[in-house]
Structure 1
Amino acid sequence: MENHEYSVGLDIGTTKIVAIVGRRNAHGKIEVLGVGKAKSLGVHKGIVNNISQTIQSIKSAVAEAQSSSGVPIHKVTVGIAGKHIRSLQHSDYIMRENPDQYITEDDIEKLKEQVKKLVMLPGEEIIHVLPQEYKVDSEGEIQEPIGMHGKRLEANFHVVVGQMGSIRNIARCVREAGLEMESLTLEPLASSESVLTKEEKEAGVAIVDIGGGTTDIAIFKDNIIRHTCVIPYGGGIITDDIKEGCSIIEKHAEQLKVKFGSAVPELEKDSTFVTIPGLHGRPDKEISLKTLAQVVNARVEEILEMVNTELKAYGAFEQKKKLIAGIVLTGGGSNLRHLRQLANYTTGFDSRIGFANEYVANDKNQYLKGPEYATAIGLLMESLKIRDKKHGVEQPEEKVENVETASTQNQTATEQPEFRTEETPEIPREKQKANRLTIGQKIMESVKKFFEEVE
């Protein structure tokens, strides 16, 4: 297998490190060749705090991925998160030397490079420069300026910034694990690649990725990234609350959260208890599921209120910026029972759980179905895009029939309607062009027809 045929996504998370090897099949979907997973020992709230342990965890995950895929791994696309991440809006422009020549990809890159020279706060570095809308001379709201003519090329940018130290620590861990970092991608952007549809991004949607140490948010509207942020709380702090509130060890607290945790105490019975084994001959401990849900609910509500604050900061409650597609919950934390109902109530937006295998072709055993794999699969997709661009491979068009929407995996109230169309014979291209009349042409045709009838 040639090296450029496959790509690798490496998710360095707070609770786990996942390496996924895959390639694109003939239908444009992702074919996963192998998966490696290791416990993350040196990462806290998305930030590396122990270099040697993180290197060891990366090596373990990559070795498992190599073993299961049967291909050597050299380059990886890595995700970044953490409370140090912030974003800002910026407008910039360039004056083109030869306006008679049409705008090319090189002009766009030149404009991006100019934005990358922005002076940041001490110790900060630009991670992403994401164009939103372009303006050519006096013509605004242009989505794709390539091929147009103009002297002045201007754009609004969404700029993602992170701490230089954190970025270099990740780069060092990857390098010392014997790998080359192909690209560094913001984790909520990677998750959005794997769980959001084009229709949702157009209608307006917020992806809320609840990981072990952080909750990452990305907001899209009109197919444009509008807002990104990282909240420094995730599933780990819920486990800590259960440990403290129920006076049990962390291992038991995590098991309780995963198996019996609920975000809505009112849906739990007072009479239902779970027994936790005592330590070293001590008596067993009985914990009410309602009490457990109350502990979980307090922290989840706090996280959702922070999400609400970010939605307000973007302006999601204004009519023009309204998120028609609501919220998509993903990440390991979204497995919590009744979280969707609480999110609906707290934010006022409809929500669904984002499954990570919507674009995966060969997930027959549903191994990658869990939302906890959303970021890793998104990073793999990002890596495949980079490889395709480098080798001049055309991006496959997004086809509705290739997307198994999450509603087929988990029936929710936000089920997408099914549109049925009757089959019509294919029209030759020449006739298609002839049929595309402008409004003015249509009026002229009808006037002409009228006078012919009068005669």
Structure 2
Amino acid sequence: MENNKIAIGLDIGTTKIAAMIGRKNEYGKIEVIGIGKAKSLGVKRGVVSNITQTIQSIQQAVEEAESVSGLKIHEVVVGIAGQHIRSLHHSDYITRNNADEVIDDNDIEDLINQVHKLVMLPGEEIIHVLPQEYKVDSQADIKEPIGMYGGRLEANFHVVVGQVSSIRNIGRCVKSAGLGLSEITLEPLASANAVLSQEEKEAGVALIDIGGGTTDLAIFKDGIIRHTAVIPFGGNVITEDIKEGCSIIEKQAELLKIKFGSAWPGENKETEIVSIPGLRGREPKEITLKNLSRIIHARVQEIIEHVYLEIKNYGHETAKGKLIGGIVLTGGGAQLKHLRQLVEYITGMDARIGYPNEHLAGESDELLSSPAFATTVGLLMEGLEKQKPVVEEEQEVIEEEVIEPVVDEQKEQPIEERPPVVEVEKERKPKKKSFFEKFTESLKDFLDNAE
């Protein structure tokens, strides 16, 4: 029975692929039962560029998580990022047949489905449709229209769009690694769930997730997601610059960045020098830390300015859009020394580093509460939120396959006994994520046919 409550988040990143198995404890916190990670070799800037290598890395991460937890993984929640993600604003309305009935979930679903009919550029598909605020007849700024009377229901939507081929490639990798896809979600949204508090989302906050290949941005205000963007560079370009600037190999550049790197050149004195062993029989290289932090500073500044431009585009400088909660930095790149100070200096906004430990059970491993695992924890949370009714049904199916013939008659009986319950489940559940289910379903169909 315990197994029902288990979910798995799979973060397919540019530098690492991480799988995290967890369940909720009695206090509603997340207990991580197993974690596995593998070096990601087939992903560039958040997009799969080598299917075979990505499949191997996924299998490696999943096997490690399985051996730690002693559980078998069947289905995962996967995050999607990459430079092909864009978002747009759209408003749509429906006219209700019967204005004397109160607005219910079905009306909202009709409205969301209407947005799904939007014509996208060739090769693009809608990933998320996120309602902002509703308008009923002529009354505006309604957060929750369910239960109200009205003939015309209108809403503003934040629509996230991505390239079909990139999404299918991720689906393909997960399926070929022998796993089911329970859900695909946008990585900045997952990270936001893991590190932001409800107060921050209300006050207005920008989450900046600096990964290896991409920097993701999610802006919240009044508790609602307002803007998302993916900027196509992250920590790896900093390493690249150090490699070029100091003429050293990538491994050394990465170590230098992690151990001695700083985003603030004023910190280091001219006399601080690191000696790096030369390649086979060559002289060691001497690099001043001042130089190193200049290289890092230049690139980090560029990344932050890009992000700040997006924050300004959203409307941070208007009275209505002001982000009182400032900036939260997360992702592996947020561990860079003095990054917070640089961000505050460039943007003039308050900043803090976001650790995903708020939702984790007290005795969790220190490694898990590192900003590098924010997305993975977020995906795991997403899986735990969504899966309760679904997994129980699936669990039965799995057991039925094992026990074979005896269960066949049982399979039919409970279903005949249960229709009302199933009906209620159907009434209630899809409303929240029906469009997503459809999307995941269509992706599954596509992958099944592709074989």
Q: What is the aligned partner in structure 2 of residue 14 from structure 1?
A: 14
Question: Which TM-score applies when normalising by structure 2?
Answer: 0.85
CA separation in 2, counterparts of 1:149 and 1:174? Answer: 45
- Contact residue 32 and residue 364 of structure 2 kept, 8 A: no
Give 3-state SS (helix, strand or coil) of 1:125's partner: strand
**C-alpha deviation, 1:102, in angstroms:** 2.2
CA separation in 2, counterparts of 1:322 and 1:389? Answer: 39
Which residue identity does 2:73 align to in structure 1? Answer: I
**C-alpha deviation, 1:363, in angstroms:** 4.1
Larger radius of gyration: 1
Q: What is the aligned partner in structure 1 of residue 145 from structure 2?
A: 145
- Contact residue 265 and residue 294 of structure 1 kept, 8 A: yes
Identity of aligned residues (%): 64
- Contact residue 239 and residue 254 of structure 1 kept, 8 A: yes
**C-alpha deviation, 1:316, in angstroms:** 0.6
CA separation in 1, counterparts of 2:100 and 2:3? Answer: 41
Q: What is the aligned partner in structure 2 of residue 75 from structure 1?
A: 75
Q: What is the aligned partner in structure 2 of residue 373 from structure 1?
A: 373
Q: What is the aligned partner in structure 2 of residue 272 from structure 1?
A: 272
**C-alpha deviation, 1:209, in angstroms:** 0.2
CA separation in 1, counterparts of 2:116 and 2:17? Answer: 30
Unpaired runs of at least 5, structure 1: 396-455
- Contact residue 211 and residue 235 of structure 1 kept, 8 A: yes
**C-alpha deviation, 1:58, in angstroms:** 0.5
Which residue identity does 2:110 align to in structure 1? Answer: K
Q: What is the aligned partner in structure 1 of residue 59 from structure 2?
A: 59
Deviation sequence 1:319-366 (CA, Å, 0-9, x none): 221110100000000000000000000011010000011110044431
**C-alpha deviation, 1:131, in angstroms:** 0.6
Matched, 1:170 2:170: yes
Give 3-state SS (helix, strand or coil) of 2:79's partner: strand
Give 3-state SS (helix, strand or coil) of 2:209's partner: strand
**C-alpha deviation, 1:388, in angstroms:** 3.6
- Contact residue 332 and residue 372 of structure 1 kept, 8 A: yes
Question: Which TM-score applies when normalising by structure 1?
Answer: 0.84
CA separation in 2, counterparts of 1:294 and 1:271? Answer: 15
Q: What is the aligned partner in structure 2 of residue 352 from structure 1?
A: 352
CA separation in 2, counterparts of 1:381 and 1:364? Answer: 15
Q: What is the aligned partner in structure 1 of residue 195 from structure 2?
A: 195
Unpaired runs of at least 5, structure 2: 393-424, 430-451
Q: What is the aligned partner in structure 1 of residue 300 from structure 2?
A: 300
**C-alpha deviation, 1:317, in angstroms:** 1.5
- Contact residue 79 and residue 186 of structure 1 kept, 8 A: yes
Q: What is the aligned partner in structure 1 of residue 135 from structure 2?
A: 135
**C-alpha deviation, 1:104, in angstroms:** 2.0
- Contact residue 31 and residue 364 of structure 2 kept, 8 A: no
CA separation in 2, counterparts of 1:28 and 1:111? Answer: 33
**Please, what is the CA RMSD of the aligned residues?**
1.5
**C-alpha deviation, 1:100, in angstroms:** 2.8
Which residue identity does 2:89 align to in structure 1? Answer: Q
CA separation in 1, counterparts of 2:12 and 2:236? Answer: 15
CA separation in 2, counterparts of 1:57 and 1:286? Answer: 35
Note the 1:154-303 alignment, pairs <5 A.
154-303=154-303
CA separation in 2, counterparts of 1:366 and 1:3? Answer: 25
Which residue identity does 1:254 align to in structure 2? Answer: E
CA separation in 2, counterparts of 1:108 and 1:57? Answer: 40
Deviation sequence 1:385-408 (CA, Å, 0-9, x none): 11146577x99xxxxxxxxxxxxx
Number of aligned residue pairs: 394
CA separation in 2, counterparts of 1:106 and 1:21? Answer: 34
Give 3-state SS (helix, strand or coil) of 1:323's partner: coil
Give 3-state SS (helix, strand or coil) of 2:178's partner: coil
